[in-house]
Structure 1
Amino acid sequence: MKKLSLLIAFFALVLGATAALAHHGWSSYDADKTLTIEAALKEVAYRNPHAHVTIDYEGREWHVVLAPINRMKARGLPEADLTSGKTVTIVGYPRKDGTAEIRAERIIVDGRTIELR
């Protein structure tokens, strides 16, 4: 029985560490460079761990990291409000390495401002 408990504890530790490594941190985004972009949504992925949208900005396709869906729902942004073709305003930080990706701090949809962080 003791061996089984140790084995379960070991796997819980390994799986927990793997999940922690898989989640990204925010240090790769430039918090000193705020972007405010009004653009139409090309693609929407309303799923965990974070919802994502794709937009065109400055001749490139940009990936925008939003908040977890439970937070967005709690703050008044259900999935039905984010549809391909809808124009929104995104305020956030670009990646430091030049990758076309933004960490969104807030999004303005249908005249409503939703704080994501």
Structure 2
Amino acid sequence: MAAFAVIGIGLHERQAEAHHGWSSYESEARTLVGPVTALSYANPHGTIEMTAEGKAYQVILAPVSRMNSRGLSAEMLAVGTQVTVVGYVKRDDPGEVRAERISVGGKTIELR
């Protein structure tokens, strides 16, 4: 029984390490406008890469099930598609943004 407890603790710690801590992001939102340059529509959350203001950004989206239920499909985020992202820049990596909402094709989707 003790072995199961140790294994359970180890798994829990690894899951916590793999998840983003939102406190590591700025508290003031920024708006980025530009084309999608890459897409990962997969769990634990989707991501896009985009360019805005002459810089490259990796944008952390929501879990796939949430994006689907709110009407944001992978097809809407095809490479080359213009998007507007409102989100929070990571304090120690200004190239990473946690998206609060995304606008694409005349539709705005809340991600949190």
The structure with the greater share of residues assigned to strand is 2
TM-score normalised by L of structure 1: 0.88
* Unaligned residue ranges in structure 2 (runs of 5+): none
* Unaligned residue ranges in structure 1 (runs of 5+): none
Which has more radius of gyration? 1
Shift of 1:88: 1.0
Query: Would you say 1:81 and 2:76 are equivalent positions?
Result: yes
Map residues 59-74 of structure 1 onto 2, 5 A cutoff. 59-74=54-69
Shift of 1:22: 1.6
Alignment-derived partner of residue 18 in structure 1:
14
Output the amino acid matched with 1:116. L
- The CA deviation string for residues 59-85 of structure 1, in whole angstroms up to 9 with x for no partner, is 221111111111101111122211100
Alignment-derived partner of residue 103 in structure 1:
98
Q: How many matched pairs?
A: 112
Runs of 4+ in 1 over 6 A off after TM superposition: none
Root-mean-square deviation (Å): 1.3
TM-score normalised by L of structure 2: 0.91
In structure 2, distance between residues paired with 1:17 and 1:8: 14
Shift of 1:17: 1.6
In structure 1, distance between residues paired with 2:104 and 2:54: 23
